[in-house]
Structure 1
Amino acid sequence: MQSIKLSKSTLWLMTISSGLVVANIYYNQPLLSLIAADFDIGEAAAGKIPVLTQMGYACGLLFIVPLGDKVWRRKLVLLDLLVVIACLLWICFAKEFWMLCVANFILGVASVVPQLFVPMAAELSTTEQRSANIGMVMSGLLLGILLSRMLSGVVGDLWGWRTMYTIAVGLMVLTWLGIYKLLPDPTPNFKGTYSSLLRSVFDLAKKHALLRLASFRGAMAFAGMSAVFTTLIFHLEGPPFNVGATVVGSFGIVGAVGALAAASVGRFTRKWSNYKVILAALLILLVSWGFTFGAGQTYWGLVIGIILLDLGLQASHIMNQTDFFAIDSKATNRLNTVYMVSYFIGGSLGTLVASWAWQYGQWTGVCAVGFGFNAMALLAHLLFARKVSA
């Protein structure tokens, strides 16, 4: 048993740091048009940047996050943040598009710090507080994703896209100092080699059907949201909106409403089973597309759709993690690796397919893709959730 207790100050440190770190890989989405103009490339080429960043994040989840069970996590987090700072500086001064692509991929690899904090919160929490504490850290992460778009949109419009990454360097230096001073360091609990550590990740995925189901649900849910936010800038640039990055970024605030509402999803488990809470969350995701597509040529339709999309995503995400963290308290980082690798592969897939859908079907194509991904999450839940929970 860990003697370290999860204090409120530690929980807030992990929550705020998670938001600030994960924001680095989402600043680029409202800035894609500015980046495309700066490097004289097309929209489809610029769309590779978020794909590479998310693919890098998935690689970091697979090869770095399992180390949280083997090495001292505080040192691992501090080292990761140094790499993040170096990549942000590289992006600031990149002169060629290939440099930007490489820097964003490595940035994604190193930006897995929040996925070391979530298992730590689960590990150091009581059973009664686990859902609430996971929800708080995940709210910080999702708010970082959403609000980063708003901030980068405003900064990009006013001072250019490189300025946003200069600001990000300063934020990461402050984050590094806060973690150096305040983060506790739970004792590692895996004694084997690095290769055996990685093998155990695949063994866990192979052994636990509940983990596989949660991973699939999470991947398909995140694919839908990634489809929207990757192409939203292109949708709003055209008629009837004809607006720029600032307005696109402001939709981060809209999504934050849903994210904050979902943070309290753990309360519903007092009356409902996890199965019913996840079912409700996935149904909310599907309903959101009725607004995003059906009223997608209006601001009110997009606002309601994105609130519901983020509410459903965050609620299902928290409950997925609550489900699988209960499997093995000594393998929380490796369990989270399986889930989050799947989650961000789903995000990368959603981004990639949405870019193609936009090219051939514009907003209608994007919404069809997003609805399809979310429908697959619901179908898997209905078919398999009761079986694997039995």
Structure 2
Amino acid sequence: MRQTRDSEAAAAALSADELAVPAPRGLGTVLTVLFAAASGALAANLYYAQPLVALIGADTGLPVSAESSLVTLAQIGYAVGLVLLVPLGDVLENRRLILATMAANVVALAGLAFAPGLALLFTAMLAVGITSTAAQMIVPLAANLAPAEERGAVVGNVMSGLLLGILLARPLSSFLAEFVGWRGVFGLSAGVIAALGLAALFLLPERRPEGTRGYGALIASLGRLFVNQPVLRRRALYHAAMFAAFSLFWTATPILLLREPYGFSPGGVALFTLAGVLGVLAAPIAGRMADRGYTRAGTAVAIGTAVLAFGLALFGESSLAALVAAGILIDLGVQANLVLGQREIYQLDDTIRSRLNAVYMTTFFLGGALGSALTSPVLEAFGWQGICLIGIAMPATALAYFLVVDRPA
């Protein structure tokens, strides 16, 4: 009888523990690799279409003038998911939310691969963008599971995988499309996400957040967070300037390389974009710097690196070496600043990390959209020098504010 009562008490204690937010206990190598791989594969979905729009348009009868709308639609979907889905991580059990969103992503990718006409093509592309935000549910979960003293390093490691997915997506889709076509690219991505989702089913731990507010109040709180959290607001705007410069560079550079005097083929442009892959090295280094108290110095170096990158890019019309160096530096600076910013905002309130991440990501994603939108008109009106001057001005403005106004108390 005594043994039975002890067992019942242990079971009751276990049930109570399951309802509480688990104490941070670290991720371990296997879980860190899974988080990094899943984040990278999900984020890559947004960028596969960029070098494939001409192939997709020719195959589906999409007018040339509307081909870029496919990429825009994926970006709009991602922004919608950041606002409407990612905050749910503060009120719903995280494991179930991530698995459900990844399953929906597989369905959306399969729909895109087999889309028979334009209506389903556009619908599936929008759905791919929305559901790819599962990557931004994984990052806050990693931060919540990590001990405070290791949080920067853990986030940096996971972000390395996410950023590697982003940086490899364009060259990878260009190469794969030559063998399996554009539909095969998205079909293969569906298979990869499905395999990672299956692994997550067995390896992903549960996390039940303490939040209990309704969905409407949850979404409405995002704007208030931006207004009432100065650290979040400043870090988001710093990175919006950085990501605008990043998008400006990587949208304009392929156009420059396809023209004379370079005259690159699409395959040559794909090889050039591999230069940016080195930027992934910045994420774990930046995370460890933040853990050791060097966030301010790291931020100044990261933003300054982007300014230097565009200074070198001024010589890019006649020097391929200058373009390669600029591509490496802009990616190093942007990825470092991203991780440093996330480390800062995750320190604000551990009960609302999903919403903090949603506001942070949405703000700088809009900055990236602005950079992309400026590229064609600026390039046509003011040439490559105009691109570089705007690219210098954006991070330089952020750096000046950071150094002069945003001083530690």
Q: TM-score, normalised by structure 1?
A: 0.92
Partner Cα separation in structure 1 for residue 396 and residue 120 of structure 2: 37
Unaligned residue ranges in structure 1 (runs of 5+): none
Q: What is residue 278 of structure 1 aligned with on the other side? A: 299
Any residues of structure 2 matched to 1:32-181 within 5 Å, and which? 32-38=53-59, 45-97=66-118, 99-181=120-202
Of 64-73 and 119-128, more deviation after overlay is shown by: 119-128
Q: Is the 8 A contact 1:282 1:378 kept in 2?
A: yes
Q: Tell me, yes or no, if structure 1 residue 2 matches structure 2 residue 48.
A: no
Q: Tell me, yes or no, if structure 1 residue 202 matches structure 2 residue 223.
A: yes
**CA shift at 1:159, angstroms?**
4.0
Any residues of structure 2 matched to 1:224-373 within 5 Å, and which? 224-269=245-290, 273-373=294-394
- Structure 1 residue matching 2:355: 3-state secondary structure: helix
The percentage of counterpart residues that share the same residue type is: 33
Partner Cα separation in structure 2 for residue 108 and residue 379 of structure 1: 34
2:148 is aligned with what amino acid?
T
Deviations along 1:69-120, one digit per CA (max 9) or x if unpaired, are: 1111111112212221222223223354554343322211111112111111
2:395 is aligned with what amino acid?
N
CA 368–83 in structure 1, closer or farther in 2 if over 3 Å, else same: farther
Q: Is the 8 A contact 2:155 2:287 kept in 1?
A: no
Partner Cα separation in structure 2 for residue 158 and residue 217 of structure 1: 41
**CA shift at 1:37, angstroms?**
4.3
**CA shift at 1:23, angstroms?**
0.6
**CA shift at 1:227, angstroms?**
1.9
**CA shift at 1:29, angstroms?**
1.7
Q: TM-score, normalised by structure 2?
A: 0.88
Q: Is the 8 A contact 1:135 1:318 kept in 2?
A: yes
Deviations along 1:259-309, one digit per CA (max 9) or x if unpaired, are: 213421234347764222101100000101122232244332221111100
Partner Cα separation in structure 1 for residue 354 and residue 285 of structure 2: 23
Q: Decide which structure has the larger Cα Rg and report it.
A: 2
Q: Which of 22, 45, 50 is matched with 2:43 structurally?
A: 22
Q: Tell me, yes or no, if structure 1 residue 379 matches structure 2 residue 400.
A: yes
Partner Cα separation in structure 1 for residue 60 and residue 260 of structure 2: 25
Q: Is the 8 A contact 1:60 1:110 kept in 2?
A: yes
Partner Cα separation in structure 2 for residue 103 and residue 366 of structure 1: 33
Partner Cα separation in structure 2 for residue 242 and residue 101 of structure 1: 32
Partner Cα separation in structure 2 for residue 381 and residue 98 of structure 1: 46
Partner Cα separation in structure 2 for residue 42 and residue 383 of structure 1: 49
CA 38–359 in structure 1, closer or farther in 2 if over 3 Å, else same: farther
Partner Cα separation in structure 1 for residue 282 and residue 225 of structure 2: 32
Q: Is the 8 A contact 2:154 2:287 kept in 1?
A: no
Partner Cα separation in structure 2 for residue 194 and residue 134 of structure 1: 27
Partner Cα separation in structure 2 for residue 115 and residue 37 of structure 1: 33
Q: Which has the higher contact order (CA 8 A, sep 6+)?
A: 1
1:14 is aligned with what amino acid?
F
Partner Cα separation in structure 1 for residue 344 and residue 48 of structure 2: 31
Q: Is the 8 A contact 2:311 2:388 kept in 1?
A: no
Partner Cα separation in structure 2 for residue 363 and residue 41 of structure 1: 30
Aligned pairs, number: 388
Partner Cα separation in structure 1 for residue 328 and residue 172 of structure 2: 18
Q: Tell me, yes or no, if structure 1 residue 215 matches structure 2 residue 236.
A: yes
Partner Cα separation in structure 2 for residue 373 and residue 35 of structure 1: 33
CA 243–93 in structure 1, closer or farther in 2 if over 3 Å, else same: farther
Of 4-13 and 103-112, more deviation after overlay is shown by: 4-13
1:381 is aligned with what amino acid?
F
Q: Is the 8 A contact 1:57 1:344 kept in 2?
A: no
2:22 is aligned with what amino acid?
Q
CA 385–157 in structure 1, closer or farther in 2 if over 3 Å, else same: farther
CA 297–178 in structure 1, closer or farther in 2 if over 3 Å, else same: farther
Unaligned residue ranges in structure 2 (runs of 5+): 1-20
Q: Is the 8 A contact 1:50 1:351 kept in 2?
A: no
Of 123-132 and 249-258, more deviation after overlay is shown by: 249-258
